[in-house]
Amino acid sequence: MLQHRHRRIALSLVAAVGLAGSWAVATSTGFAAENDRRDSRIERNEGSFITRCELSHRAADDPIVAFGQPGASHLHDFVGNRGVNAGSTYEQLKRNPRTTCDGEGHTGSYWFPTVLVNGEPTEATRTNVYYRSRQLDPRAIKPFPQNLRMIAGDARATREQPGDVANWDCVRSGDRRSVQTPSCAANDEFLKFRIEFPECWDGVRIDSPDHKSHMAYANRGECPRTHPVAVPGITVSVNFEYGKDIRRTDRITLSSGGVFSGHADFINTWDEATLGRLVAGCLNAAKSCDKGEKPDVRPAVTPVASDTTIHKTRITSGSAPAGADTTTHAGHGG
């Protein structure tokens, strides 16, 4: 059991924007790719909702990248579904929907590299997981298909990734996002580690060999033709409180490597009806449910069906999920 179970990790899942395969290194600022993909002329009311999660457990497991290989990954912090381990299957997670996230039915599965403070694993203060429509047409957003798996960011990165995929931020003195850990001001309360997932799906596969190419980031408010289905943009943000979790003089790194290796993994193990209602009442209705707006009362949106061959493949303990890369990937991707 981890110490300080009562603390909340802050996971804000901010979906990023960009074409399929544009997981490449950004320019020297780290934000050129983001600015190219987001169009300031697009004015759409954003729909959003939030789920707050506690840390479930910490382990060197990754059921997406190293399925069935306990201890084959770098250290991860897991939030959401409590049953996630190296050998977890979708069926097992759905049969045991215990979660560390608030709200009935909020049973999604998330994990990210453990943050190290002066080389030691450190638990964050709180966790927020955001779901947003962002610059996409809110009416077009569909729930994720069941068992969708994806990875955002690159665990092998030794240089800066695009600033809208993995970044650090100071909380209080304004938006000071950086691809490196910033020098926060004396009045800043938190240091935030944030990962942003793509929001466009190819409409066919629930996974791909690299766990990324079936997804894409939007470009100037539109999904690419290769990935036409708009899905919620997830933001993972992990908040560390100054004076409690960390000090301003501490050295911050990630278990996957340096500060540039930010990434996160997601499996859609949500209660389907709950996610459908939130997508309809918050995202489709362009309601800021994360800021206190009440969701519209609408029929739940059903997800777009994935490829029937993949979707109907039975996932059993000890076998890799359909579409997954079964080779050893310790330390890569997730």
Q: What is the pLDDT along the chain (334 residues), one digit of tens a residue?
A: 444 444 444 443 333 333 233 333 222 223 334 445 555 545 678 899 999 999 999 999 999 999 999 999 999 999 999 999 999 999 999 998 999 999 889 999 999 999 999 999 999 888 899 999 999 999 999 999 999 999 999 999 988 887 679 888 888 755 566 777 777 778 888 888 999 999 999 999 999 999 999 999 999 899 999 999 999 999 999 988 888 888 877 888 899 988 889 999 999 999 999 999 999 999 999 999 988 778 887 777 778 776 533 333 322 223 333 333 333 233 345 6
How far apart are alpha carbons 204 and 223 in whole angstroms?
Answer: 15
Report the predicted TM-score, pTM, of the whole model to 2 decimal places. Answer: 0.79
Q: Which domain holds residue 208?
A: 32-311
DSSP for residue 96: -
Which residue do the tokens 């409590």 mark? Answer: 82
* Secondary structure (3-state) at 149: strand
Report if residue 228 sits inside a domain. yes
Specify the pLDDT at position 164.
78
Specify the pLDDT at position 174.
56
Report if residue 25 sits inside a domain. no
- 108, two tokens: 């999604």
Please name which of 44, 95, 147, 104 lies closest in space to residue 277, comparing C-alpha atoms.
104
289 touches 48 (CB < 8 A): yes
- Please give the radius of gyration of the chain, using alpha carbons only, rounded to the nearest integer: 18
Specify the pLDDT at position 44.
72
Specify the pLDDT at position 98.
94
Report if residue 119 sits inside a domain. yes
For 246, phi and psi rounded to 5 degrees?
-145, 165
Specify the pLDDT at position 51.
92
Q: How many residues does the chain have?
A: 334
Report if residue 6 sits inside a domain. no
Report if residue 327 sits inside a domain. no
* Burial group, residue 1, by CB count within 10 angstroms (0-12, 13-18, 19+): exposed
Report if residue 117 sits inside a domain. yes
Specify the pLDDT at position 334.
61
Specify the pLDDT at position 306.
65
* Burial group, residue 277, by CB count within 10 angstroms (0-12, 13-18, 19+): buried
Report if residue 334 sits inside a domain. no
Specify the pLDDT at position 173.
56
Specify the pLDDT at position 42.
56
Domain count across the chain: 1
Report if residue 73 sits inside a domain. yes
How far apart are alpha carbons 52 and 12 in whole angstroms?
Answer: 9
